[in-house]
Structure 1
Amino acid sequence: MKRFLYSIFISSSLLFSQEKIETITLNEQPLKVDQLIHIDNFGSLYYTVGNTFYKKEPHQNYNYSNVQLGSITSIDAFNPLKINVFYKNFNTVLILDNRLSEIFKVDFNSIQPYKNITHISTGADNTLWIFDQNSQQLELFDYKTNTVRASAMPVNSNVLHLKSNYNYSWLLTENHLYTYNYFGSSLSKIKNDGFLHIAEDNGNLIIQKKEGLYFLAKDSNSLAAIQLPQLLIKQFSLTNETLYIYTDEKLHQFQLKIR
């Protein structure tokens, strides 16, 4: 009951802060990709072109593609040693190492009970956060034992995006933004007020709306607008308070001035 009341409080009290997050322009470079995935702490760039996944390090490049599985739906590179590549059309996730070599394959078509997966993200150890369309539930799935370690309550709206770290996950639906802990318990439920996409770093969120990007600090219920030049944002990523924005063939790098 206490958790339920807390969720309702968060849902009804999300505020837009009077303060804005200032930014410092750090860099701008040409980049022509289909999708920007991630930039890690070492400056490695993860992206896709067509059905090929690339990792560009300062002195080494790697790439991965799977002709049999076709189009890549999403990639989660939160853990650079266990990168998750999701092929929705084949209900399959491939786990890659830091050189983009296959180390494990999770074929949900061969697992009982059958799961129809729409979104995935990284969990701790040998787990994935998965959203099963059949049950409308977020689950923490152990792909080595084919067992569900934790399940959240079903949601009743379409899922837009799923992000996670080792301890928490964030599920963005058309109606709400949910936060869950490692045990699948709901910690907060915020009304979706035009949220389109989210990025996460150290528990902090960047939330995209039509009018721009907003910062939601962990343990906060206040959205702060991020001051940026006029940009047509295609994708964005957050790493250690550094915001990367991919526009039309350019990668912009900004430092967030968080007080």
Structure 2
Amino acid sequence: MKASSLFILLFIIHFNVSGQFVVTDSIKVSNIDKVSVDRQGAIYLGDDSGNVDKYNTQLELTDRFSPVQKGKIGILEAWNPLRVFVFYQQLQQYAFLDRFLVTANRYDIKEISSYVGLATVSLDNNLWLIDLAKFGLIKYNINYAQIEIERPFDLILNPNNYEITHIREYQNLLFISDKKSGILIFDNLGNYLRTIKTVGISYFNFLGDKIYFKIDNRLIIKGLYDDSQSELKLEPEVDQVVIFKNSAFFLTKKWLKKANLSDY
């Protein structure tokens, strides 16, 4: 997204802090607790049994993945639509799905660590892992089946008071949210850089050079490389938000709603 388009979008959001967003489309959902968007704007929803549904920008169901072995999804990362990543925390397994959600290459993660809290795909198609057994960060090379990076959390997180909720690599930086302290930022070698200090973050995502996340009934949008910040007031029932270009998708326990931000 061009800088000018991003500025206009953020101005629109900021201008309507006190107003209602205008819903243009919606679908009914059930037991959905994971949402992701790919680089083409398709929306992916994961339910508590491990199923993944793919919707186009008009919220029409196009593809569905239903695993043989059911399990709760810890991370659903669909930015690369040719290689959708799913981490099943309870099963300690991860899978890569093709663009039609038909072929699923599933792998056991127990050989890497005795317990992985969260995992995500790296920008070089390897894995970042939250190793809770050793309380640290691991980067794992899939092709060579070996650990490339190990970083302890001891000096960053309180081992007696933390709740890691999400992880994603973006623009050569690694972001990890901890409900107790905020969003921890690392470089692509796993070196700790800084923390966005905000408690209560369950999920975050990115829009150009911005990071956004939900706190209470507000969507906070912060600059990654400056001090800019905007807010959007949310309805109380909204659990998660995903933004793609000029569209915002609001996930509640019963609905996925789409609002066209350019119509505000």
Category of TM-score, reference length = shorter chain: 0.7 to 0.9
Q: Distance in 1 between matches of 2:163 and 2:41?
A: 34
> Please, what TM-score do these two structures have when normalized by structure 2?
0.76
Matched, 1:202 2:200: no
Q: Distance in 2 between matches of 1:166 and 1:101?
A: 29
Task: For 1:90-101, list aligned pairs within 5 A.
Answer: 90-101=91-102
Q: Distance in 2 between matches of 1:68 and 1:194?
A: 32
Match of 1:176 in 2: 182
Task: For 1:140-159, list aligned pairs within 5 A.
Answer: 140-154=139-153, 155-156=157-158, 157-159=162-164
Q: 1:49 deviation in Å?
A: 4.3
Task: For 1:89-128, list aligned pairs within 5 A.
Answer: 89-102=90-103, 104-109=105-110, 111-112=111-112, 114-128=113-127
Match of 2:24 in 1: 27
Q: 1:203 deviation in Å?
A: 4.2
- Letter aligned with residue 21 of structure 1: H
Percent identity over the alignment is: 17
Task: Sort the Cα spacing of 1:225 and 1:138 in 2 relative to 1 into closer, same or farther, 3 A.
Answer: same
Task: Sort the Cα spacing of 1:103 and 1:187 in 2 relative to 1 into closer, same or farther, 3 A.
Answer: same
- Letter aligned with residue 224 of structure 1: S
Q: Distance in 2 between matches of 1:84 and 1:41?
A: 14
Q: Distance in 1 between matches of 2:61 and 2:258?
A: 22
Any unmatched runs of 5+ in structure 1? 1-19
Q: Distance in 2 between matches of 1:253 and 1:145?
A: 44
Q: Distance in 1 between matches of 2:182 and 2:209?
A: 18
Q: Which has the higher contact order (CA 8 A, sep 6+)?
A: 1
- Letter aligned with residue 217 of structure 1: G
Any unmatched runs of 5+ in structure 2? 1-12
Q: Deviations over 1:127-185 (max 9, x none)?
A: 12211101221222222222223333413333122222362221111223211121112
Contact 1:21 1:215 in 2 (8 A): no
- Letter aligned with residue 29 of structure 1: S
Matched, 1:37 2:35: yes
- Letter aligned with residue 38 of structure 1: S
Q: Distance in 1 between matches of 2:109 and 2:47?
A: 26
Q: Distance in 2 between matches of 1:240 and 1:149?
A: 35
Contact 1:84 1:121 in 2 (8 A): yes
Does the residue aligned with 2:226 lie in a helix, a strand or coil? coil
Task: For 1:1-259, list aligned pairs within 5 A.
Answer: 21-23=14-16, 25=22, 27-35=24-32, 37-49=35-47, 51=49, 52-57=51-56, 61-102=62-103, 104-109=105-110, 111-112=111-112, 114-154=113-153, 155-156=157-158, 157-165=162-170, 167-173=172-178, 174-228=180-234, 230-240=235-245, 242-247=247-252, 248-255=254-261
Task: Sort the Cα spacing of 1:223 and 1:196 in 2 relative to 1 into closer, same or farther, 3 A.
Answer: farther
Bigger shift: residues 157-166 or 169-178: 157-166
Does the residue aligned with 2:221 lie in a helix, a strand or coil? strand
Q: Distance in 2 between matches of 1:140 and 1:76?
A: 17
Contact 2:214 2:241 in 1 (8 A): no
CA RMSD, Structure 1 to Structure 2 (Å): 2.8
